[in-house]
Structure formats: structure tokens, C-alpha cells
Amino acid sequence: MIHIKKNTSNKDPRLNSSVLTPKSAIITATIVMIYSGILLSIYDNISFIPENEYYLVGSILALIIVASICIATVSTYVHYIKYTKPLLRIARAARAVSNGDYSIQVPPHRNDGKIDEIEALNIDFNNMIKDLSETEILKNNFISNISHELKTPIAIISNYSTLLDEDNLTEAEKLEYIKKIRSTSDDLSALISNILQISKLDNNQIEVNIEEFDLSEELVQCILGFEMIMDQKNLDLDLNYPEQLIIESDPGLLKIAINNILSNAIKFTPDNKKLTINLSADEKNDLVAISISDEGCGIPQDSIRYIFDKFYQADSSHATKGNGLGLVMVKKIVALLGGFIDVSSVVNEGSTFVITLPKSKS
């Protein structure tokens, strides 16, 4: 169980300075008291005789007016520099963002490196704009990619359906076209299913059902589901796992994650190569790790950072079957279960994916 310590104080823990400090308040009060003392001294040292009565009143009024103007001017300037100017800057930036400019950033208003209330607001505002910018880019890419991914299978189904209307087709050709339509329909169904699943994960609509189960048995069952494909490719399997490994997690969601990694490993591994799967437990840290390694084409280093992005495929030629959503779903599921996923790869040698999960939810 993860314990989050809540900050019950009203003060932002980042702040190491303040726009209005007790020190400035004390200085202001001291100035007011000194000024009052001067007025009292003048009042006490000038006698109230008729010839200087008007002089006394005029002097006091003049001092009050001059001091009030000075204090008001300084106060207004300080208020403008410390409050109004930075807030107007943020207001202008917010107006630019509302007009679609996500590149704007608010510059710091302090030069001493300290963080006060306004500086904290600047930092949070800039971070918000960065997040909005990334979201906008992802949204545009998502629309572009999903349009492409949906258009391709629909075009294939349409083309083969048109061919089936021809009268000169042999029975073998008809069966082949029907097989292509069925296969493409399955791909389209899987794509839509993955999109809906990811949407639910993004919006926290997936219900996590935690229960005790044997991860060793669950892993073996997942592998057996790919037995026929591995036999067709004549893949050698090196499997290492404890006889029993009881964990607390959601077996249904975990099965989706394992199957996706296994499917990719088999898909990208050439015939007559080897898969290596290891299941281990770290009793000291209460963690379990599932490692799946292949001897496939590998992933270029400049592509690894993007493989968990929606619709991203390291194979840009789309020569391999897939829509670039499987790993996105895996990462979200693993995070939902309190774990994380790591990947290492060498081009032309293979890739290794490691899913690390808490052994228990306590």
C-alpha cells in the first residue's frame, strides 16, 4: 500500500521567499512610527501663540501631504513591481494560450533564484502550458494515425468485396477473398477494441479486481495460448519459473499485458530462433519480475523512447502486423497495477521487456 503524505499547511513547500514578508511589514511600521514621532516633536516644540498657529497647522498639513504622496508613490510602485506586473504578464500569456499559442512561456520575475508566491505561479503556469502543448500534439497525432489505421482495413474489405461480385472467379479465389475479408475484419475489430480499452484506462474506467493467484500458472497458461504459433515458427523456448509464486494483483489485466509482450516477441522473432522467459521474485523488496527476451530484429535506440506512444511502430514500413497500441495498453495496465516496465534492445540481436510488479498490495 502506498501512503501519500498530505500537506496540511497552506504554504507551498517550494517557497523559500515571499512577496510580502513580516520583515517588510516591520520596516513599514517603523517608518510610520518615526514619522509620527517627528510630527509630535514639531507639535510639542512649537507654542500655540497667535502669530505661529497658522504656521504650525500649515507645516503639519504640508508634512502629512508630502509624506502621504511619498508613501503612496512608493507603495504603488512596489505593488506594481511585485504584484501587478507579473500578474499582467501571466494574464497576457493566458490570453495567448486561449488563442491557441502553446509555445508561450512566462519568464521568471525574480533574479535571485528564490521562489515566492508569484514565482511558484509562474512555474505552475509554464508546466501547465507544456502539458497542454503535449496533449494537443498527441491529440492531432492520434486523429491522424487513427484515420490511417481505420482507412486501410476498410479499403481492403471494400476492394475484396468488389472482387467477389465478379462472375469469373474460381471457388478457390472466392475462398481466398473471403479469408482476407475475415482476417481484415478481425484486425479492425481488435483495433477498435484496443482503442476503447485504452480510452477506459485513460479515464480510469477500468475496475481493478485484486485477488490472490499463482503467477507461475498464469504465465504458463499465457504461453500455451501461443503454442501453435511458436510450433509453426519452430521457436525454441527457454522458460524459467518457480513452481509456485502467489501474488496479489488483477489476473485478467495482467494476462492482457503478458499476452501483448509475448505476441510481439513471437511476431518479431524469425523462424528457428529462441525465446527466453524468466519469472523471479525479489522477496526483500516484495516484487516480482517477468522478463521476456527474443532474438528478433531489435529496436533502434532512437526509437525505444517512443514505443509506448499511441500508434508508434518502430517498423515504419508497416511490414509487420500491428497497430501500435499494444505496448501503450501494457504500460497503462502495469502502472495501474502499481508496477513498471523496462525495455532494452540491440538491433539485429533482440529485445528484452521486463514487467515488475508488487507481490502484494499491502
**347, 300 Cβ separation under 8 angstroms:** yes
What predicted TM-score, i.e. pTM, was given to this entire model? Answer: 0.51
Note whether 216 and 101 are same-domain residues: no
The answer to the question of residue 31 being in a domain is yes
Domain boundary among 110, 130, 150: 130
The answer to the question of residue 303 being in a domain is yes
Task: Please report the pLDDT score of residue 91 as a whole number.
Answer: 84
Note whether 221 and 313 are same-domain residues: yes
- pLDDT digit string, tens, across residues 223-238: 888 888 888 899 999 9
Note whether 346 and 247 are same-domain residues: yes
Number of domains the chain is built from: 2
The answer to the question of residue 151 being in a domain is no
Note whether 119 and 225 are same-domain residues: no
The answer to the question of residue 135 being in a domain is no
Mean pLDDT by 10 residues, the chain (362 residues): 40 56 58 63 56 63 71 73 80 83 81 79 85 69 62 78 83 86 77 67 69 92 86 91 90 84 87 92 89 87 68 45 62 86 87 90 67
Task: Please report the pLDDT score of residue 322 as a whole number.
Answer: 46
Task: Please report the pLDDT score of residue 234 as a whole number.
Answer: 93
CATH code for the domain of 242: 3.30.565.10
In three-state secondary structure terms, 103 is coil
Host domain of residue 27: 22-130
Beta bridge partners of 352: 293, 344
φ, ψ of residue 197 in degrees (nearest 5): -65, -45
**351, 272 Cβ separation under 8 angstroms:** no
Note whether 233 and 99 are same-domain residues: no
Give, for 148, the enclosing helix (H) or strand (E).
helix 117-164
The answer to the question of residue 183 being in a domain is no
Q: How many whole angstroms separate alpha carbon 54 and alpha carbon 51?
A: 7
Domain boundary among 130, 164, 192: 130
Task: Please report the pLDDT score of residue 318 as a whole number.
Answer: 40
Give, for 232, the enclosing helix (H) or strand (E).
helix 227-232
The answer to the question of residue 331 being in a domain is yes
278: which 3 cell numbers? 524468466
Task: Please report the pLDDT score of residue 284 as a whole number.
Answer: 84
Task: Please report the pLDDT score of residue 290 as a whole number.
Answer: 93
Name residue 114's amino acid.
K
**132, 101 Cβ separation under 8 angstroms:** no
Domain boundary among 113, 130, 147: 130
Q: How many whole angstroms separate alpha carbon 290 and alpha carbon 343?
A: 12
**292, 219 Cβ separation under 8 angstroms:** no
Name residue 74's amino acid.
V
Task: Count the helix, strand and coil residues of the chain and give each as a percent rounded to the nearest 5.
Answer: 55, 10, 30
The CA R_g of the chain, rounded to the nearest whole Å, is 35
The answer to the question of residue 188 being in a domain is no
